[in-house]
Structure 1
């Protein structure tokens, strides 16, 4: 570990250890999205109330309507323009994912991320791809809840996102050596990721899936949400900016052999699911 990495670790560790629901630092413009996430947890919430909350955030409304009209949710092609109808078609769980996607999107566009915008953009792009793939893998290959798989995909790198925001906000000098910063964030990510997801009151199954995404159960089709997330991360076309490119390719080859997935199998799956994957990614990203 380099001196620069040790310096970054020393700076970020106190923030990593003190993560709590009352001190999470997200973009102020994301408040409406976080309110939606909390509202979804209310067992007494009805669709009318949810539609009113969604309508209060124009960007989120646009995402919900776009997802309602996606190939994955609207194979008939009958367009919906009314937010309430869109909310009813999409349902509670996917709206939580859309709200979280909006929160991350606003975070990466915030002024605090200006000095590390390229890294934040790469993390965002990968999160969207992993979320879309998680949803389609769950729907096509398993009986596990696709909506929760999508949520796990969109938040799977939230710990890194959070730490990058802390560095940009409180320790801008660390951004001068992004390789050292990346190594430090990678060291702290596992602990911080779980803490941030817990502070956001996400389901325990989602938190467990994110925590276990680095280990594959070994069976196909995937047997758990963490297996789905592992496979989606493996399939994602956007390279993880926290991984060395050569290391990633070597790992993909080794993992592919272990999974019994050759390039033809991957190509066939992506080709058969391409419209669904693209439509979900577009709804999350737009």
Structure 2
């Protein structure tokens, strides 16, 4: 009964648009708002990055990660150089990653903090795989796929942070928890101003199956989740079988392109996880 009351409370907050963000993410949200303005000048973006030392450090680390340094070039040593290398769209992804990570950073219970860290590692793998899959297989925009991979578990991070104050909230995931996760995710995607095509792809992941051959952003995310070496610690019953099936298994078996994608994405995931660790 108590768990049902907790579910009802969070659902009511979500539907009223009252989901609460950590106060520590204000700089990231302000950067997102600025970058969403088509008239945002590069100097404005640089000033906002420099206004928050952690954000500036993460931008430089991201610029030097395998995702952005694979084509060579000098090591980036300034926020200006980072902004110019990664571009507005990936700065937007960085700001979103800071928001996602800060939900986990405020958790006090050790077990929940461990789950949040595992969830971040899963998200980093999915983001890296999505980036490489988009370039080499599904032919969607790689930067969009990277952003979607970072954001796809934002609802899980939020629920982990709430479970810190609502013991047992995430115990024994069932259909109700799946519905709660979906409602919270949709609300958070709206609050974070996630573009509609990305929000739609993320919201439709639950219970989804990969097309053969894969194509589009949703398939990119589903396949990345299927290939990720580390599963989400919050995987629901239907998530455990997403993207499985004889047709997909046959498609993946002995597929040299998939093997190449796995190798390339592994290094991207390692460097991305470190670069975005906030």
> Does the CA contact (< 8 Å) of 2:204 and 2:218 recur in 1?
yes
Partner of 1:8: 3
Of the candidates 275, 279, 285, which is equivalent to residue 267 of structure 2?
Answer: 275
Task: Identify which range, 73-82 or 43-52, moves more after superposition.
Answer: 73-82
Q: CA deviation at 1:271?
A: 1.9
SS in 2 for 1:81: coil
1:258 deviates by 5.2
Shift of 1:285: 3.2
1:56 is aligned, of 51, 54, 58, to 51
Q: Which secondary structure state, in structure 1, belongs to the residue aligned with residue 188 of structure 2?
A: helix
Report the counterpart of residue 38 of structure 1 in structure 2: 33
SS of alignment partner, residue 245 of structure 2: helix
Distance 1:79 1:260 in 2: 39
CA contact (8 A) 1:132 1:277 kept: yes
Q: Which has the higher helix share?
A: 1
Corresponding pairs, count: 274
Confirm or deny: 8 A CA contact 1:27 1:106 kept in the other structure: yes
Moved more, 269-278 or 66-75: 269-278
Match of 2:209 among 211, 216, 221: 216
Deviation of 1:280 (Å) = 3.2
Could you list the per-position Cα deviations for residues 216-274 of structure 1 after superposition, in whole angstroms to 9, with x for gaps in the alignment?
Answer: 35132x321111111111111111212379x84x6665367356112664433212444
So what's the TM-score if we normalise by structure 2? 0.86
Residues 101 and 43 of structure 1, relative CA distance in 2, 3 Å threshold: same
Q: Secondary structure at the match of 2:58?
A: helix
Q: What CA distance in whole angstroms lies between the structure 2 residues aligned with 1:259 and 1:130?
A: 21
User: Aligned pair 1:104/2:95, yes or no?
Assistant: no
SS in 1 for 2:212: coil
- Which among 204, 220, 225 is matched to residue 217 of structure 2? 225
Supply the distance in 1 between the matched residues of 2:61 and 2:247 (Cα, whole angstroms).
34
Name the structure 2 match of 1:261.
252
How far the C-alpha of 1:187 sits from its partner, in A, is 3.4
